[in-house]
Structure 1
């Protein structure tokens, strides 16, 4: 029987495994990801926090070990598929799509009255509580922007995000000649999971196909980064590098936990992240051990800020 962090690390380097799938939630998925790569195992990853917190550590290990890192997130799977056979030099930008969550048309005043029940109801996806809240705040899109930087080694200036209500176009790649490749599909995780598990090989799948037998429309609009501050903040911490992407992710984990435990209002989630980022001194990520110390400091700081906000 395997349990705890050591158990996860042991499972991730299991000798008989053909591929390791990391579908954990939160930074706890970083060590298993590192252990899988060190054990020369191909890794299918849906754990965006591991990529955000330890992107530099993962990239260092990937340079030493000839393994495949396959994204499971639908947005990054879409980008991966659009880049197959393309010259990276021909890429103008990656375009990540976002449904906008249940509050995409809410004003800042409206957001102050959001309840937990409302926040846990996503318009197009059925997901766990943490990622559903992240989608509502658009922190999820912020994490995905950083994740795209890590996975595809693309500068932040070449990573864009746009609202797309129907969640049919999962992401796009624009090229220097003006061409845009998009990956379309029904809003289901089955295709990206299958694609990752088969390391990019396509298998026959007859159900849940997108139908063009009836007319439908696709809608897009820019993300207002003044209203959805989590996106602007993600670009900021991403460009800062060092421990700051990790600080963003961990502060969010704590804030979401507090919200789900009725210790924080919905609109205060991003405020907590902002305050932790603002008061944290940046430094390089030297090792997994040093990063764990940063995470503990960050968690402590976030809880202290939440306690202070209760008294305001």
Structure 2
């Protein structure tokens, strides 16, 4: 029986994680969880899974839930998120919150000696060096949940990482993969959220449409696998069947394949190094698919991906600033305040204005995040 603390329980990754826990009650127990504003869903989860500690965003919601579930401990806010990560003894922290808010809970769980199933890629983008150094210092494994990094992780099992030539991240291309840049000028939020392959949360789906999601994954792969950026490639693969590949010095290529189902990498992160049956999963039938297609990545068409490479190579606080600018810009787009194309324009402007701090400490990273968000809101307010 593995005890799991789950951050982001009401989101896409969180709900799929809960479906795995429900399918294997003899193997997994939900001990603590966090959620944001979807309080009705929180109540449903508590009723079904009986966690001992729950964190929500607002104090008023915590008070109301406490009256409804007196046997559960309720906390709230940023400190509550940390409490949900480490307040109950558990084997695994699965961090699936969206954004850099996941950084401090991850660091706290590492210090507590918990295995980290990391689905919060912004944590590694904003503070990859700090997180990886802490994981090494406390001898804590970081098991990736993203399908691409899980694929790399699985492909590297038993291999000598010194013999790697390239990591190859595949990309579906997102909702607008067949659009030219001219055709992107007037696209809507509804169009952006219509991902052709994956069922994901809104922020992640917009990131996929801009290709910033792949850029964040490049930076994440750099930290997880200690790989230089010049040895991390991206390849368009519309079917999302090959989730990523590793090329070795002898020209061998190891790949992990599967139907596009996020429950597979989530479950693998929870059971690693073991594997167990997947309930109600669609098995991959290559004879039915027939063909797989690949295209060279166009870094001019997908400018956000190019910006992410630039930020990663600059290092220091530049990825933090880029990530913060992207988070705010995506939210502003979803709220109708800016156009789709303005997302990457804002990111580029924030990167050009940012004065990079190399080897930053945690407070410098958090201050960069706060300052960048404030400046983005200032720019948009000025334009309005």
> TM-score, structure 2 length as denominator?
0.79
SS at 2:243's partner residue? strand
Partner of 2:352: 278
Alpha-carbon distance between aligned partners in 2 of 1:137 and 1:162, rounded to the nearest angstrom: 15
SS at 1:2's partner residue? strand
Q: CA deviation at 1:285?
A: 4.4
Partner of 2:33: none
Q: CA deviation at 1:16?
A: 1.9
Would the aligned equivalents of 1:42 and 1:68 in 2 still touch at CA under 8 Å?
A: yes
Q: CA deviation at 1:67?
A: 1.4
SS at 2:109's partner residue? helix
Tell me if 1:92 matches 2:165: yes
Q: CA RMSD in A?
A: 1.2
SS at 1:270's partner residue? helix
Partner of 2:32: none
Select the residue among 183, 186, 206 that pairs with 1:110.
183
Q: CA deviation at 1:91?
A: 0.4
Q: Alpha-carbon deviations, 1:200-240, whole Å to 9, x = none?
A: 31112363210244352110101111111111111111011
Alpha-carbon distance between aligned partners in 1 of 2:278 and 2:331, rounded to the nearest angstrom: 37
Which protein shows a greater Rg? 2
Point out the more displaced range, 9-18 or 124-133: 9-18
Would the aligned equivalents of 1:272 and 1:306 in 2 still touch at CA under 8 Å?
A: no
Tell me if 1:255 matches 2:329: yes
Alpha-carbon distance between aligned partners in 1 of 2:288 and 2:354, rounded to the nearest angstrom: 53
Structure 1 residue runs of 5 or longer lacking an equivalent are none
Point out the more displaced range, 254-263 or 4-13: 4-13
Would the aligned equivalents of 1:44 and 1:72 in 2 still touch at CA under 8 Å?
A: yes
Structure 2 residue runs of 5 or longer lacking an equivalent are 1-73
Partner of 1:294: 368
Tell me if 1:241 matches 2:315: yes
Alpha-carbon distance between aligned partners in 1 of 2:80 and 2:157, rounded to the nearest angstrom: 35
Q: Alpha-carbon deviations, 1:88-117, whole Å to 9, x = none?
A: 111000000000012112111100011111
Would the aligned equivalents of 1:285 and 1:291 in 2 still touch at CA under 8 Å?
A: no
Alpha-carbon distance between aligned partners in 2 of 1:195 and 1:147, rounded to the nearest angstrom: 19
SS at 1:214's partner residue? helix
Partner of 1:224: 298
Q: How does 1:143-158 map to 2 (within 5 A)?
A: 143-158=216-231
Select the residue among 141, 164, 170 that pairs with 2:243.
170
Partner of 2:277: 204
Partner of 2:24: none
Higher RCO (C-alpha 8 Å, min separation 6): 1
Q: Alpha-carbon deviations, 1:258-303, whole Å to 9, x = none?
A: 1011100001100000000000100124322221111111001112
Residues paired across the two proteins, number: 310
SS at 2:235's partner residue? strand
Alpha-carbon distance between aligned partners in 2 of 1:305 and 1:50, rounded to the nearest angstrom: 25
Q: CA deviation at 1:308?
A: 4.1
SS at 1:106's partner residue? coil
Q: How does 1:37-56 map to 2 (within 5 A)?
A: 37-56=110-129
Would the aligned equivalents of 2:317 and 2:360 in 1 still touch at CA under 8 Å?
A: no
Alpha-carbon distance between aligned partners in 2 of 1:309 and 1:183, rounded to the nearest angstrom: 46
Alpha-carbon distance between aligned partners in 2 of 1:55 and 1:215, rounded to the nearest angstrom: 37
Alpha-carbon distance between aligned partners in 2 of 1:131 and 1:184, rounded to the nearest angstrom: 21
